[in-house]
């Protein structure tokens, strides 16, 4: 009951936040020079003032700002994000086409970074002077300093050009024939490099944090109690200590969600991954305002949903947070 109440409260806040994001995005775009009419006229190879005015009247761009904003928000509430003249299709449809690819990339990269990061952190916390520990320090340095597109290109050269294990670009090989598993494997192979590239940024962050919290937790009284019960090393470390060390890492992962998405824009561009990132890149170049707005809206949505999930995960690992 309590859980339902707090969850619905959070969902309500999330909706308010989303509307605020909408208003802000729309206003910012409105302030920027140029509008849809310009885009359309450009794609037609130029137009005179009369035609421009005609287009503006047709799409309601001559209306006052507040009316346009109201219409836009009204549209969003009915899942109508407008029409992209550049791609010549409704923005909602366009985004829904691209969203799965981005979600796949973002979630798998987060998962990889979390699992590997935490494991490295735990191993180096158990042996602070061991080889894993030095590796984590090196990795952290690398993760902080190497730009993500550089890592991506390096991996591409290494593992698709020199040693040809992984495909160079895209998400699927359309020439492949076969059942579900054949395609799944194909997508998996395409996913590897972009996923590793995106994960590399956060891997360092998570492994550093989990090493620090794990070292603290391993020295705590309840870990000593667990040892005093006669539990095995692995039970002590992976059950008693790890469950306590997870909370800060999950919190950090939640906070990083927006960073992962902006990282995805770069990674998708490097690997021509057909997700929202490449779409964002292309629509910014093409000044396709409705699409840009739509992508911003969906990114905000993903971040907010990510935060809600983080919250739930935290409650799962830490009973002290339940009922709050």
Q: How far is the CB of 240 from other proteins (least distance, A)?
A: 5
Q: Please, which residue, 9 or 224, has the CB nearer to other proteins?
A: 224
Chain centroid to Cα 35, Å, comes to 28
- The residue range among 4-12, 102-110, 171-179, 214-222 that interacts with other proteins, by the rule CB under 8 A, is 214-222
Distance CA 16, CA 23 (A): 11
238 binds other proteins (CB under 8 A): no
231 binds other proteins (CB under 8 A): yes
Structure tokens at 281: 């890149």
Distance CA 217, CA 126 (A): 11
Q: How far is the CB of 139 from other proteins (least distance, A)?
A: 25
Residue 66, CA distances (Å) to 25, 29, 63, 284, 288 in order: 14, 14, 8, 24, 21
Question: What is the Rg, in whole angstroms, of the alpha carbon atoms belonging to the chain?
Answer: 24
- The residue range among 112-120, 182-190, 228-236, 248-256 that interacts with other proteins, by the rule CB under 8 A, is 228-236
Q: How far is the CB of 247 from other proteins (least distance, A)?
A: 9
Residue 150, CA distances (Å) to 87, 153, 205 in order: 30, 5, 18
89 SS3 class: strand
228 binds other proteins (CB under 8 A): yes
84 SS3 class: strand
Q: Please, which residue, 180 or 320, has the CB nearer to other proteins?
A: 320
Structure tokens at 196: 């590793």
227 binds other proteins (CB under 8 A): yes
Using CB under 8 A as the criterion, what x/- string covers residues 240-269 for binding other proteins? x--xx-------------------------
- Nearest residue to 71 via CA among 22, 37, 34: 22
- Applying CB under 8 A, among 224, 238, 305, 312 the residue interacting with other proteins is 224
- Nearest residue to 190 via CA among 279, 278, 101: 101
Residues 302-321 within binding reach of other proteins (CB under 8 A): 317-320
- Applying CB under 8 A, among 222, 255, 262, 312 the residue interacting with other proteins is 222
φ, ψ (nearest 5 deg) of residue 83: -125, 135
232 binds other proteins (CB under 8 A): yes
226 binds other proteins (CB under 8 A): yes
- CA within 13 Å, CB half, 35: 17
- Applying CB under 8 A, among 137, 220, 269, 307 the residue interacting with other proteins is 220
Positions touching other proteins (CB under 8 A) are: 220-222, 224-232, 235, 240, 243-244, 317-320
């Amino acid at each position: 009951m309590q859980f339902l109440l707090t969850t619905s409260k959070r969902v309500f806040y999330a909706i308010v936040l989303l509307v605020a994001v909408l208003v802000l995005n729309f206003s910012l775009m409105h302030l920027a020079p140029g509008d849809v009419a310009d885009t359309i006229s450009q794609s037609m190879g130029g137009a005179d003032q009369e035609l421009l005015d005609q287009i503006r009247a047709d799409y309601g761009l001559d209306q006052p700002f507040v009316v346009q904003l109201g219409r836009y928000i009204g549209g969003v509430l009915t899942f109508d994000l407008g029409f992209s003249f550049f791609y010549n299709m409704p923005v909602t449809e366009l985004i829904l086409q691209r969203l799965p690819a981005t979600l796949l990339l973002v979630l798998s990269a987060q998962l990889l970074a979390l699992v590997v990061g935490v494991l490295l952190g735990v191993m180096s916390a158990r042996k602070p002077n061991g080889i894993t520990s030095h590796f984590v320090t090196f990795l952290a340095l690398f993760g902080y300093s190497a730009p993500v597109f550089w890592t991506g290109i390096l991996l591409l050269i290494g593992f698709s050009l020199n040693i040809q294990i992984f495909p160079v670009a895209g998400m699927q090989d359309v020439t492949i024939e076969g059942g579900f598993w054949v395609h799944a494997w194909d997508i998996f192979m395409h996913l590897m490099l972009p996923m590793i590239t995106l994960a590399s940024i956060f891997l360092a962050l998570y492994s550093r944090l989990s090493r620090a919290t794990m070292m603290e937790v391993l020295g705590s009284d309840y870990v000593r109690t667990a040892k005093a019960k006669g539990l095995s090393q692995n039970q002590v470390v992976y059950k008693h200590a790890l469950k306590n060390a997870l909370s800060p890492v999950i919190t950090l992962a939640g906070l990083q969600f927006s960073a992962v998405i902006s990282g995805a824009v770069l990674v998708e561009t490097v690997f021509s991954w057909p997700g929202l990132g490449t779409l964002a890149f292309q629509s910014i170049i093409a000044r396709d305002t409705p699409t840009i707005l739509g992508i911003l809206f969906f990114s905000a949505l993903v971040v907010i949903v990510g935060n809600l999930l983080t919250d739930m995960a935290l409650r799962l690992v830490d009973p002290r947070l339940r009922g709050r």
